[in-house]
Amino acid sequence: MTIDCDVHGRVPTMEELVPHLDSYWAAYVEEAGPGVPAGIAAVYPPGAPATGSPLGGATLEELGAHLDRLGASAAILNCVFGLEGLRNLDYASALAGAVNDWLAAEWLDRDPRLRASLLVKAEDPAGAAREIERRAGDPRFVQVLLPARSERPYGDPSYLPVLQAASAAGLPVAIHFGGFTGNPPTPVGWPTYYVEEYVGMAHAFEAQLTSLVAGGALERLPDLRIVFAESGFAWLPSAMWRLDKEWRGLWREIPWVKTLPSETIRERVSVTVQPIDPPPEREQLAHVIEQIDCERMLLFSSDFPHVHAADFGEAFAGIVDADFQRAVVAENARALYGL
């Protein structure tokens, strides 16, 4: 039975969140009337071809039908909610809790196949740790969700309490396509077109991988597991080669990194297969798989309802054997998430 490690339900409205806010924030929201964070539409414009739904995600019914078609035993809801762009930490953390409660009530309680990533405001380490601890006992929350484009990369010491809380709760940290902080989305400023940001999200993932390798979190938290969600995977070999080569000459600056980065990455990092960007020749994808050299790393995802160029089955047909397929389609997720 398939486990789908990245699906998207529609985003809640503020009205739907009010019942899940405390009395101060409920009153504040009703009076001030803020909309949902702007980062949601910036990352998934409702009319963009890849978004797949004007609601930004599927309804419960549509998701249920998708899981029926897939024969999925479980699917992980990633609710991208733009909290990284909110500067009032209390507000953002309050929203995180409200969204998590809404996810539980409107999704997890209604379809037993559904699991969810836990939203937190990572720039509020104490608030984020509290939220993780609050929900740690609910096994339907299987990981902590962070956006790929953040204020600082996640190896930065300011994020350690969040990673620590996740690790202590036995939860992987999923770093997901998106992030709208108000800082330029690229190292070279603001691109003109959405397609540039869409394609360029890969470099944000590279920055996060580099930072997690360099910053010491993986050494301090030996049980911490990282998931890159909606990142694709073809970028991994070139990144691993580069990090390994750099480490050989520069390790003295980061002496807690005691071994080749690629070894650590193969032990601690997983990645969802979508988006698959099919190469012109099937053999080229086989090369990438060989270069990644880690069957355990890949997690099946549909990214439903987002639209992609190819699905896993057709892209990987003939280039991986049945054992590999089984690992990707279910076993890796089962082992990682305890499903």
Partner 1 sequence: MSASTARRYVVARIHEIPPGARKIVTVERRQIGVFNLDGEFFALRNRCPHQGAALCDGRLVPTVSASAPGDYELGGRTLLQCPWHGWEFDVRDGQSWSDPGRLRVASYKVSVERDDDGRVKGPYKAESYPVSVEDGDVVVEMG
Partner 2 sequence: MRNEIVDSDVHNTLATNDLLLPYLPERWAREVERYGLRRLDSIGFFATRPRRFAARTDAWPAGGVPGGDIDLLREQLLDRYPIAAAILNPINQTTIGAQQPLFSEALCRALNDFTLAEWIERDERLFGAICVPMADAGLAAAEARRLGSHPRMVQVLLNVRSREPLGTRRYWPLYEAAVEHGLPVAVHVGGHGGNLITGAGWPSYYFEDHAGYPQSFQSQMISLVFEGVFERYPDLKIVLQEGGFAWMAWLMWRMDSAWERFRDEVPHLERAPSEIVREHFWFTTQPIEEPQKPHQFGQMWDDLAMPDKALFASDYPHWDFDDPDRALPSALDAETKAVVLGGNARALYPKLAGARVPEGAAG
Q: Shortest gap between Cβ of 250 and partner 2 (angstroms)?
A: 5
331 binds partner 2 (CB under 8 A): no
252 binds partner 1 (CB under 8 A): yes
Give the torsion sign (CA, 46, 47, 52, 53). positive
Q: Shortest gap between Cβ of 283 and partner 1 (angstroms)?
A: 21
288 binds partner 1 (CB under 8 A): no
Q: Shortest gap between Cβ of 151 and partner 2 (angstroms)?
A: 5
111 binds partner 1 (CB under 8 A): no
214 binds partner 2 (CB under 8 A): yes
54 binds partner 1 (CB under 8 A): no
259 binds partner 2 (CB under 8 A): no
170 binds partner 2 (CB under 8 A): no
Q: Shortest gap between Cβ of 93 and partner 1 (angstroms)?
A: 27
Identity of the residue, 315 or 336, whose beta carbon is nearer to partner 2 in the bound complex: 315
Which residues 2-41 are close enough to bind partner 2 by CB under 8 A? none
Among the residue ranges 23-31, 46-54, 220-228, 330-338, the one whose residues contact partner 2 (CB under 8 A)? 46-54
Rounded Cα distance, 304 and 51, in Å: 9
Rounded Cα distance, 132 and 168, in Å: 10
Identity of the residue, 175 or 240, whose beta carbon is nearer to partner 1 in the bound complex: 240
The SS3 call for residue 45 is coil
Mask 208-247, x = binds partner 1 (CB under 8 A)?
-------xx--xx---------------------------
Q: Shortest gap between Cβ of 293 and partner 1 (angstroms)?
A: 5
Q: Shortest gap between Cβ of 136 and partner 2 (angstroms)?
A: 26
In sequence order, the 6+-apart residues with CB closer than 8 A to the CB of 199 are none
190 binds partner 2 (CB under 8 A): yes
What single letter denotes the amino acid at residue 229?
A: A
Q: What is the dihedral of CA 175, 39, 77, 25, to 10 degrees?
A: 110
